[in-house]
Amino acid sequence: MNDDQFEGKWDRMKGKVREHWGRLTDDDVEEVKGKRENMLAKIQEKYGDTKEAAEEKLVEFERKF
């Protein structure tokens, strides 16, 4: 999913993001604001992942969504 698609689907994805990424707070999810790069940064921060690992996790999540 590219940045534009991610942003376009953000409102529908927020609930699933909260379910899937349990370490993200509501404030974290709001800070993402539909920006894919912001989501990657939050995954890295909360899960201690490298950028590559966070990217893999996010791509897998996007496939399921």
Return the DSSP state at 22.
Answer: T
pLDDT digits (tens, 9 = 90+) for 10-21: 999 999 999 999
pLDDT digits (tens, 9 = 90+) for 32-61: 999 999 999 999 999 999 999 999 999 999
CA distance 57 to 53: 6
Task: Give the fold, CATH level 3, of 3-64.
Answer: Protein Yjbj; Chain: A; (1.10.1470)
* pLDDT score of 65 more than 90: no
Q: Nearest-5° angle of CA 15, CA 24, CA 44? A: 120
Return the DSSP state at 38.
Answer: H
Return the DSSP state at 6.
Answer: H
